[in-house]
Amino acid sequence: MPTEFRDSDRLDPSLLRLAAVLMVGGLASLLATTIVGVALDDARVALGASTAQIQWVATAYLLTLAVVVPTMPWALGRLGAGPLWRLSLLVFAVASLLCGAAWSATSLVVFRVLQGVGGGLILPLLQTILATAAGPRRLGRVMALVAVPGQLAPLAGPLLGGLLIDGPGWRWVFWISVPLSVAALALSWRGIPARVPAEPRPLDVLGLLLLCPGVAMLLYGCAQITASAWAPPAWAPIAVGAALLGAYVVRTRRSGRAMLELRLFATPSFALAAGLMAVAGASIFGPMTLLPLFYQQVRGATGVETGLLLAPLALATMAALPLSGRLTDRIGPRPVLLAGTAVAALATLPYVLVPKADDLGLGAALFVRGAGLAFATVPITVAAYDRLAPTDIPGATTLLSVVQRVGGSFGTAVLLSVVDRQLATGDSSLQAYGFAFGCTLVLSLVALVPAALLPRRAGG
């Protein structure tokens, strides 16, 4: 069992078993994010709720994830990896059961918050445990393995959700996560190390009260950008969130106590990787929201048709991830990232020139883009952990999760705002989405600049 940091080139069976066990829990958490969207309207009707009320079922979960993530290093130092993993799965499973048994919109939102408490720790814990067990020479291949659920969930979530809605009903959209959570919990008793290198630390209550609401307000404000067109409903929470985070930085510098290890930004490779992860929010994760809307609003596809049309993206990414991991471990993150970013950017062109593209051509472009994304995402993670001590990995994982969530939310909101603005100026939906995809292309090309500054090889 891999219970300590190792520096080996071989993917031994114990490491592969650990990755497999963790992937089961990761898939349960990711499904809770991707599958619920299709159930919201049925839940609204069944619970007698308004559209605004039922939207909080999705919003509350995402905000809770952002609030919980910064507490992971503290909880890891206090409880250890194995106990914290099992506690997170248990909370997540119980909350999933309660969500399916909800009797009102309010109770459903409350249970989703509880589900977010468990789900918010699962993915950063997964990444921390594996990064520690793999060591720098195997990190690319291992991270490529655990990225597979991240591609499978967006593909399977809406399709599975549609089948459950048409079959046993909307409550099963929540209950479907329970068997996965229980399986992950059972497997964890023999497959998860008891502890990983982590420094025990006291809980910084004041830092918690500044950091967690600050991140949540920032994300909430980003989510309101499109709806409010930069009116007070958007910029007020963004300003409050930024002020709270600024106060947190000042407190950290004065007291030396940190829930987020901001000192890690002094490591050049980590700082560059974190910046790239923020830019990727618009250039990589933003189009993940644009694409379904494009197919539904521009091409007139149904929900199931949209899922099938987007399948080439997820399938190509899953197929290319193992090769991306091997190449990153062999030749280093920089050349793999540069190639992947360039390929993903070029594959966006047919969506910029949508009047001349058909579904077959767009599907081929999606397949190429999916392969490019596989080569662009794994090296960023590997570069972030490069040159870090094992005890820094929990803090690095937490910081990267926050950066990724803020960057992804802001990028997505800005791109959707671009579409709304273009529609308001009289553009057709075709032109509006083409312009938004053009913005993602520009951002991808901008990302090539910091990518070129990453070390060519791990440890370089």
For residue 302, what pLDDT is reported? 67
Which residues in the chain land under pLDDT 70? Answer: 1-11, 37-38, 51-52, 55, 136, 148-156, 158-159, 191, 193-201, 223-234, 254-259, 281-282, 284-286, 289, 302-304, 307, 354-357, 409, 412-413, 455-460
Residue type at 253?
R
Residue from 62, 38, 58 nearest 123 by CA = 62
Q: How far apart are CA 410 and CA 423, in angstroms?
A: 20
Q: How far apart are CA 385 and CA 132, in angstroms?
A: 10
Residue from 327, 18, 8, 13 nearest 138 by CA = 8
Pull the structure tokens for residue 65. 């994830």
CA distances, 233 to each of 212, 228, 237, 286 (Å): 20, 6, 7, 21
Q: How far apart are CA 131 and CA 142, in angstroms?
A: 8
CATH T-level fold of 260-460: Growth Hormone; Chain: A; (1.20.1250)
Residue carrying the six token digits 């081929």? 364
Q: How far apart are CA 403 and CA 381, in angstroms?
A: 12
Burial class (CB in 10 A: 0-12, 13-18, 19+), 189: exposed
Phi/psi for 133 (5° steps) reads -70, -35
The domain spans of the chain are 1-189, 205-257, 260-460
Phi/psi for 49 (5° steps) reads -105, 165
Q: Is the pTM of this model over 0.85?
A: no
Q: How far apart are CA 422 and CA 401, in angstroms?
A: 31
Residue type at 177?
S
Q: How far apart are CA 206 and CA 254, in angstroms?
A: 13
Helices (H), 48-176: 51-68, 72-79, 81-100, 105-134, 139-146, 148-166, 172-175
User: Which tens digit of pLDDT belongs to each residue from 300-328?
Assistant: 776 667 767 878 887 888 888 888 888 88
For residue 400, what pLDDT is reported? 80
Residue type at 14?
S
For residue 215, what pLDDT is reported? 79
For residue 98, what pLDDT is reported? 93
For residue 320, what pLDDT is reported? 86
Residue-wise DSSP of 187-253: HHHHHS-S--S-------HHHHHHHHHHHHHHHHHHHTHHHHTTSHHHHHHHHHHHHHHHHHHHHHH
User: Which tens digit of pLDDT belongs to each residue from 89-130?
Assistant: 999 999 999 998 989 888 988 998 899 888 888 888 888 888
Report the CATH number of the 1-189 domain: 1.20.1250.20
Let me know: does 128 contact 1? Beta carbons within 8 Å: no
Let me know: does 211 contact 148? Beta carbons within 8 Å: no
End-to-end CA distance of the chain: 30
Burial class (CB in 10 A: 0-12, 13-18, 19+), 406: buried
Residue from 84, 166, 80 nearest 118 by CA = 84
- Residues belonging to the chain: 460
Pull the structure tokens for residue 280. 């990727």
Same fold, 1-189 and 260-460: yes
Q: In the 8-state DSSP scheme, what is residue 265?
A: G
- Cβ neighbours around 121 below 10 Å, total: 25
CA 126 to chain centre: 13
Q: For the chain, percent helix, then strand, then coil, each to nearest 5?
A: 80, 0, 20
For residue 2, what pLDDT is reported? 39
For residue 93, what pLDDT is reported? 92
